Amino acid sequence: MNGAIVLLVVNAAVAGMFALSYFLIAAISRGQRPVLAFGISYLVGMLTPISEIALSITGDGAFQVPSYGGLLAAFLLTSYGLSRFERQRPLWRAILLAASFGVLIRLTIWGGPRDNLAYEIAYQSPFAVALGLCAYTAFRHANGRSLYFLLGSLFGVTSINFLVKPFVAVAVGSGATAADYANSAYALYSQGSTGILLIAGGLVVLLIVIQTTIVEFTHISETDPLSQLLNRRGFDRQAQMLLSHSANESHDVCLIMIDLDNFKAINDYYGHDVGDRVIQHFAELLQHSIPKSALVARTGGEEFVILLNHATLPAAVLIAETIREQVSDHGFEEVPRFTFSGGVAQLRPGETLADLKRRADRASYDAKTGGRDRIEIEQPASAHSNSQKIVPLRR
């Protein structure tokens, strides 16, 4: 078995492993079904090395059709898959034009003289065009992401390689017939260079898919399904990161603890469906009322927390009071009137997230016992007292 045949076998096996990887990812993560297009592209791409092996063994020229068509279709499927993966409309017109160009060129040069520069350029140009389309698609969806820039660059280099191959074919010879290709020196260069570049591109695509899948699973595990806010786990993880940055940058951080008033009574009287709608409406109001830099989470049945970055205590109190007034005067459809009690605390030097939450929760409890539908501040300790003074904002 010569070196080119070995490379053809390796390329077919690698394409099969990539295809299997994408099919497994699609089976595990329903949100990543678009990666099926990548799996199919590699499955179709396997036709090329397999057909070349069969052609060298049997000498049957009919294998040139799946060899050529499989590779071209695989590249175009990759462009389609990248757009579908990004939930964008595929570049259908460009894909169809590239496919038509490839078919027309192949029919035009069928039976043409091998190792002729014009013939070889015509043969390779549809692949270069298809890979150029893949590069454009990757850059189009990059949005500042380095992996997409790397992928686009790899596709661009691979496209250029297909334009270089005709000159190598003419220089070293690609075999007198298609069946002789596998035994030519050119086959070693073609399969080796193309295989390395396509494997590199495939690994980058796989990294992008895995990275996106991890982000998806992290989002699911850290999101409350009813309110679509962060849950306790997600809030604690992101809040710890925020507090680490705030410690380095020395800026104000405040926390608002919120507890819906008499929520059990709402569930008991109106039913849990209405209670769920109360949670959903309140969550939507919170998302529209807080700064973009803030973290908001549902940490319990009727408990919510807001962490405000770059916010002084008066600013945090103003935000909490504004939300309270919006809820108190709300006109949500199919939802009874409800209120909440809240506590506000400002992060102290050297304090942990747990300490901050504990003080804000204590202020929220005081708001409950003080009459509900109100905001309390958990004040820093006075220089002349070991106790903490709670200041109601209303009533």
CATH of the domain at 340: 3.30.70.270
Same domain, 85 and 52: yes
Among 302, 333, 334, 378, the active-site one is 302
CATH of the domain at 41: 1.20.1070
Verify whether residue 302 is a known catalytic residue. Answer: yes
Total domains in the chain come to 2
CA distance 377 to 359: 9
Last residue of a domain, one of 219, 250, 282: 219
pLDDT digits (tens, 9 = 90+) for 296-328: 999 999 999 999 998 999 999 999 999 999 998
Same domain, 184 and 101: yes
Give residue 395's pLDDT band: very low, low, confident or very high (50, 70, 90): very low
Same domain, 251 and 186: no
Q: Of 63, 336, 1, nearest to 9 (Cα)?
A: 1
> Is residue 320 within 8 Å of 311, Cβ to Cβ?
no
CA distance 206 to 21: 8
The mean pLDDT value for 89-116 works out to: 95
Whether 66 maps to a domain, the answer reads yes
Same domain, 262 and 358: yes
CA distance 289 to 235: 18
pLDDT surpasses 80 at 381: no
pLDDT digits (tens, 9 = 90+) for 233-283: 999 999 999 888 776 677 799 999 999 999 999 999 999 999 999 999 999
Give residue 383's pLDDT band: very low, low, confident or very high (50, 70, 90): very low
Whether 302 maps to a domain, the answer reads yes
Q: Of 151, 144, 134, nearest to 204 (Cα)?
A: 151
Same domain, 79 and 214: yes
Torsion of the alpha carbons at 188, 191, 194 and 196, rounded to the nearest 10: -80
Domain that holds residue 335: 232-392
Whether 224 maps to a domain, the answer reads no
Give the pLDDT confidence score for residue 251 in this predicted structure.
79
Q: Which residues contact 14 (CB under 8 A, 6 or more apart)?
A: 195, 199, 202
Same domain, 205 and 246: no
Give residue 178's pLDDT band: very low, low, confident or very high (50, 70, 90): confident
CA distance 291 to 70: 52
Whether 227 maps to a domain, the answer reads no
Same domain, 266 and 182: no
Q: How many Cβ atoms sit within 10 Å of the Cβ of residue 291?
A: 12
DSSP state of 376: E
Helix (H, G, I), strand (E, B) or coil at 340: strand
Give residue 33's pLDDT band: very low, low, confident or very high (50, 70, 90): confident
Same domain, 123 and 240: no
pTM reported for the whole predicted model: 0.76
CA distance 176 to 385: 97
Last residue of a domain, one of 219, 242, 258: 219
Last residue of a domain, one of 155, 188, 219: 219
Same domain, 236 and 168: no
Whether 225 maps to a domain, the answer reads no
Whether 372 maps to a domain, the answer reads yes
